[in-house]
Amino acid sequence: MLALGVLLLSLVVLAGALHIGGYDAGRALVALWRGSLGSTNALLSATLVRAIPLLLAGLGIGLAFRAGIWNIGAEGQLLAGAAAATAFALLLDEMPSVLLIPGVLAAGAGAGMLWAGVAELLRRRRGVLEVISTIMLNFVALHLVGFLVHGPLQEPTGIYPQSSSIAQAARLPPLVGGTRLHAGFLIALMIAPLLWWWLRSTAAGFRLRAVGANPDAARMAGRIDVARVVGMAFLTSGALAGLAGAVEVSGVTFALYENLSPGYGYTAIVVALLGRLDPIMIVLSAILFGGLESGALAMQRDAGIPSVVVTAIEAVIVLALLVADRLAAARAMPNDPGDAGDGSRDMAPAVV
């Protein structure tokens, strides 16, 4: 309910800002609708396709944030996954599809996990804040992909900064004929309820929620190995982002190139937050942002509005959510006007 209210508010803000900016707000919103949900093709080939990496990476981020880990590195983990998946598909293109596709996806997830593992190692051994290390790792991954597509993984003619196309056998099959929607959507859609069930109904899931809510209490009263729980959450989070990269290569781009991700890893943070870190809600939130970003591209085409305004909308959504949380916390504790420090319980475990 709250999320819906916040969303409506941001659309109103968007319309208002466009109006003030001298654009035709009505035409813009119509274009936004047409490009996202207005037709079967827009829904299947644009919105849902774009939602897939957002969903997978968003699930990972949600898990990490639940455990109190600020994994800002989904972008880098996604790129690492995309690079590893491409390399795997190009090296082992003789394999039959039944083995190749799982291999490609596993390579992506593994690389994402490894990429998060670097930050986890620095955090546990050296106390390096994961906020900083994951952002640095995003840049390393970005330039590493740049290096790969100009060097070892570049297509044989050496003209284009991209890899060769992966074999047909390495590609995820289409889900609906005649559209771009691919089987990756099903994969993402199956992981979400699994994760939801795991968080809700297993002892390990409970431990993770306990650690995120209050690590000291979890350690003292629950005798939980906090470092282990946090580490596992971080690595799983990286694996999901890496899987997102692999699915993108295997289902959409069929090759590695520099601008493979239009910032999926960053948008996924907003996706996870608007989904209140709940796996089921993150599904809805990912589809919504898939639609918003697809619609924004249509808005740029049809109404001449820079698609980058969507980034501002995302920011307004996050800021509105933060305020809504504070208000809710203040209402829950009327004697404590938001001065108790850590009031934003479900959304933001204490940092640093």
Partner 1 sequence: MNELEALLEASVRTATPLALAALGETVAERAGVVNIGLEGVILAGAFGALVGASTGTLGGVAGAILAGVATAAVFAAFAIGARADQIITGMAVTLLSVGVTGALYRSIYGASGAALTIPTVGPVPIPLLSQLPIVGRAAFAQPPFTYLAYLLVPAVWWWMYRTHGGLALRAVGEAPEAARAVGIRERRVRAGAVLFGGALGGVSGASLVLAQSGTFAEGMSAGRGFIAIAIVVLGRWHPVGVGIAALVFGLASALQFFFQTMGWRAPYQLFLLLPYLLTLVLLGMRRSRGAAPLALGQP
Task: List residues binding partner 1 (CB under 8 A).
Answer: 21-23, 70, 72, 118, 122, 125-129, 131-133, 135-137, 139-140, 142-144, 146-147, 150-151, 266, 269-270, 273, 304-306, 308-316, 318-319, 322-323, 325-326, 338-339, 341-344, 347-348, 350-352
Q: Which residue has the tokens 């996706």?
A: 271
Least separation in angstroms between residue 16's CB and partner 1 is 13
- Note whether 62 and 56 are within 8 A (CB): no
Is the Cβ of residue 96 or residue 156 nearer to partner 1 in the bound state? Answer: 156
Least separation in angstroms between residue 193's CB and partner 1 is 26
Is the Cβ of residue 4 or residue 327 nearer to partner 1 in the bound state? Answer: 327
- Note whether 283 and 294 are within 8 A (CB): no
Radius of gyration of the chain (CA): 21
CA gap 57, 54 in Å, rounded: 5
List % helix, strand, coil for the chain (3-state, nearest 5). 70, 0, 25
Least separation in angstroms between residue 213's CB and partner 1 is 15
Least separation in angstroms between residue 200's CB and partner 1 is 24
CA gap 55, 108 in Å, rounded: 16
Is the Cβ of residue 146 or residue 205 nearer to partner 1 in the bound state? Answer: 146
Is the Cβ of residue 116 or residue 252 nearer to partner 1 in the bound state? Answer: 116
Least separation in angstroms between residue 121's CB and partner 1 is 8
Is the Cβ of residue 96 or residue 152 nearer to partner 1 in the bound state? Answer: 152
CA gap 265, 349 in Å, rounded: 20
CA gap 123, 115 in Å, rounded: 13
Q: Which amino acid is at 263?
A: G
Q: What's the DSSP call for residue 172?
A: P
Is the Cβ of residue 243 or residue 270 nearer to partner 1 in the bound state? Answer: 270
- Cβ-Cβ contacts under 8 Å for 323 (sequence gap 6 or more): none
